[in-house]
Amino acid sequence: MTKILIIYTGGTIGMVNDPSNGMLIPFDFEQIKENVPELSRLDYQLEVHSFNPVLDSSNMDPEIWKTLAELIYSKYDLYDGFVILHGSDTMAFTASALSFMLENLDKAVVLTGSQLPIGEIRTDAKENLITALEIAATKENGKSLFPEVCIYFDAQLFRGNRSIKYNSEKFEAFRSPNYPVLAEAGVHMQFNTNYVMKAPKDKLILHTKFNSNIGVLKLYPGITPQAVTAITDSKVDAIILEAFGSGNTTTAQWFLDALRQAILNGKIIIDISQCKKGSVQLGRYETSRELLKMGIVSGYDLTFESAVTKLMFVLGLGLPLEQSRKLMDESLRGELTKD
């Protein structure tokens, strides 16, 4: 029988109303089949690991990512797939982080959640949970059809490190602006296997060292030298530069000098676009030519969530500076497209 481990970290999906005061409280996920009786119709052996205490996803951090990755690694040979129930606010960060931490993953790790608690009449929780389980269990020739970290939400399956949360009010909370969906759940399940990661031949490798000492510099017209140098002169090890359009910035000399000095001080600067769709193309316009010359790394079509977690991961490897810059320029887990 197919065995799936459900990991409940917290979030709206596991909440029910407390009849005494009307407040939302987490229910006991060990009794999951009582709360979601439809699960009994799935021919799976389900086991649940619940965080204690459960977490609001706003409190997610690299130490919790480490706990999740270590749990999956320790249980890896015991289960056919994994479903992580997670608050939607930082789900894309966690999915991106796990994709880098679990190298050579050949089983599905599917994150899901909901916009309404599982006890609400109109909840999206049951469909998200049931279909996430089906996806985690899906195999072809004895191998998982989705050997990567994914997010399933509102009838669509996304590559985790390509996902963003874009809507806090609709059931369609997530999108993958620069990569096709991996599957769609309608009357029939449609699997877009051409876009799924190829199953690795090597053994699973666990990475748990993250360096979160990074800064974010988001540009806007009229940004001041004080605002820029507060980031570039700080003691961070790397900076995410959220630039305009295809990676463009002001060409003011003071600005370029601040970036150049940060690079000379040993900081990695990665240029990503403020646009949700599209890719950075350093050197295409005059406004980004100097960035390319000084050694700023192109983030191509990385999401902000993926840029953050990838930087933390690469810095955590403790490699020489040039090797770290080279890794940031490459696709490690299908997180970016260079062409």
Which residues form the catalytic set? 12
Q: What are phi and psi of 164, to 5 degrees?
A: -135, 150
Residues in Cβ contact with 216 at an 8 Å cutoff, skipping those fewer than 6 apart = 231, 239, 240, 242, 308
Radius of gyration over every alpha carbon of the chain, rounded to an integer in angstroms: 21
Amino acid identity for residue 4 in this structure: I
Q: What are phi and psi of 70, to 5 degrees?
A: -65, -35
- Which residue, 66, 109, 89, is CA-closest to 13? 89
Question: Which pair of structure tokens corresponds to residue 131?
Answer: 């279909």
Q: What is the C-alpha to C-alpha distance for residues 300 and 237, in angstroms, rounded to an integer?
A: 20
Q: What is the C-alpha to C-alpha distance for residues 42 and 23, in angstroms, rounded to an integer?
A: 31
Question: Which 8-state DSSP code applies to residue 210?
Answer: -
Q: What is the C-alpha to C-alpha distance for residues 279 and 14, in angstroms, rounded to an integer?
A: 37
Q: What is the C-alpha to C-alpha distance for residues 325 and 247, in angstroms, rounded to an integer?
A: 17
Show the CA angle centred on residue 242, arms to residues 240 and 243, nearest 5°.
Answer: 130
